[in-house]
Amino acid sequence: MGSPEAFFTVDGDAFVPGRQALGPWGAEVMNGRVVGAIAARTLERDHGDPALLPARLTVDLLRPAAMAPLTVTTSLVREGRRIRVADAELHQNGKLIARVTTVFLRRSAEPPGDVWAPNDPLQAPLPSPTDSIDDGSVFMVAFSENEDGAKRHDLIWEGAERHSAWLREVRPLVEGEELTPFIRVALAGDIISPLTNWGSEGLQFINADYTIALSRLPDGPDIAMQALKHLSADGISTGSATLFDHRGPIGTCTVIALANTAADFTIADR
């Protein structure tokens, strides 16, 4: 079996989506998670520093992204002794489709004393290193556990329950490039919307943004997510989740979303 197909290939200054970049909202709409991840990849390349942690990634999904080439430009907003802020803009056919901000913070020693922290153990069991899936069937692997103890290898949750899952990426973001820890966690961010918004009638919300806040980068290929909150009124929801690696919690992710159905959401909404 050859290498898994990447989400994007490079053509000049454009990123060209492959078939695995398709999202769940129709045959023309790119998955929001790869939109944010390609921005994170470019921000890390242009403004990252080993001494700095990419502590926050905010992705504003301003328009549905078509399954068409897109370009990414970045700019430095703030450069300080302990903080660096950089923005990215993503365009398709002259239209701004997403705006992304990353806050980089300088690592240092932990302060003395104790600070309260919740004790909320992860419900989903750690996946086995040998767990795998056919690279041609889906673009990622999700590990969760049903009531009968069987593991699911997809992103379909059931019912209005609290959900948790492990994610393991099985393909590159950009052809010929390795996934960095920051790109891995960026790819997980958009999944918080179905994780926190899935209900008894399936997924009836589509998110407008997501924000990842990290205290450290993930260690290893597996990232877990566990729902913290879902609040909804007047067709608007907010959801939040804790992010984990095999060592424990690494951060949180928050999304806001609008009530919607796949039939209502097309590229014409641009």
Q: What amino acid is encoded at 91 in this protein?
A: H
Lowest-pLDDT range, 116-120, 187-191, 248-252?
116-120
DSSP one-letter string for 11-72 = ETTEEEE-GGGB-SS-TTBB-HHHHHHHHHHHHHHHH--TTEEEEEEEEEE-SPPBSS-BEE
List the domains of the chain with CATH numbers: 8-106+126-269 (2.40.160.210)
Q: How far, in whole angstroms, is CA 180 from its chain's centroid?
A: 13
CB atoms within 10 A of CB 56: 16
Three-state secondary structure call for residue 186: helix
Of 128 and 62, which is predicted with more confidence? 62
Q: What is the pLDDT of residues 214-266, one digit of tens each?
A: 999 999 999 999 999 999 999 999 999 999 999 999 999 999 999 986 555 55
